Amino acid sequence: MKRVLDAVVFDLDGTLIDTAPDLHAHLVAMLQELGRPALSLAEVRPMIGDGARVLLQRGLEASGGVPAGIDLEDLYATFLARYTRDPHRHGAVFEDAREVLEQLRGRGTALGICTNKPQAASDALLRAAGLDALFDAVIGGDALPVKKPDPGHLGAVLARLGATGGRAVMVGDSGNDLAAARAADIPCVLVSFGYTQVPAAELGADRVIDHFRELPEALAALADLAAGPA
């Protein structure tokens, strides 16, 4: 008997939406206010994926180090507030992602987001991109005591989707996504076009896709591997 997936959980930045242009713009604006040289988009892309606080820290280190006498928490709060107000001016939803999400929902698959991006910024980004209505559960990186790669983060999304018994797949772009999926004992699909310092093809995911149109076929192939009884 062919198994059917109950849920698919997605990472956000670099998986569903190319957020790097907006994160880059906000980071550069803050660095320039501090008298720092601007970083290129190519320099910033590999810094994304572990949350806005880590992105800011990496940006400061790459542009000359953390300034003496600067309160990093205050700086982070300012950066996050600015980004949350304007998260989707330059970026874009990846090609065919919206159509694939609608297709999955049409088949009765519950969809969730497991992201290290803070909750308010995640919600604001999904609204601005017009994707918010497609997801049944969104849990950001500051909503729980743990975040990816801790499996408790992914587990909380699965629980909210009612998929704790298995028949779920994680879709992401980095080692954090793969590690969370492995620890939660569910298969993982990685996209090759996301934000990761190690290429997705080298991380050991169950499937790697180069375009969103390849996702339905990958999910169908992994349905038999998903945990839970047939």
The string of pLDDT tens digits covering residues 4-43 is: 689 999 999 999 999 999 999 999 999 999 999 999 999 9
11 is a catalytic site residue: yes
Residue 21's pLDDT is 97
Instruction: Indicate the CATH number of 20-85 among 2.60.40.420, 3.30.70.120, 1.10.150.130, 1.10.150.240.
Output: 1.10.150.240
Q: Which of 6, 11, 18, 173 is catalytic?
A: 11
Please provide residue 84's backbone torsions phi and psi, each rounded to the nearest 5 degrees.
-65, -35
What is the residue whose two structure tokens read 């969104």? 138
Residues of the chain with CATH 1.10.150.240: 20-85
pTM of the predicted protein model = 0.92
> Domain 7-18+91-222's class?
alpha beta
User: 93 pairs with which residues across the strands?
Assistant: 17
Exposure on the CB side of residue 83, measured as CA atoms within 13 A: 33
Residues of the chain with CATH 3.40.50.1000: 7-18+91-222
H/E element, 182: helix 175-184
CA distance readout (Å), 56 to 14, 24, 48: 17, 10, 9
User: Mean pLDDT, the chain, as a whole number?
Assistant: 92
Q: What is the DSSP letter of 123?
A: H
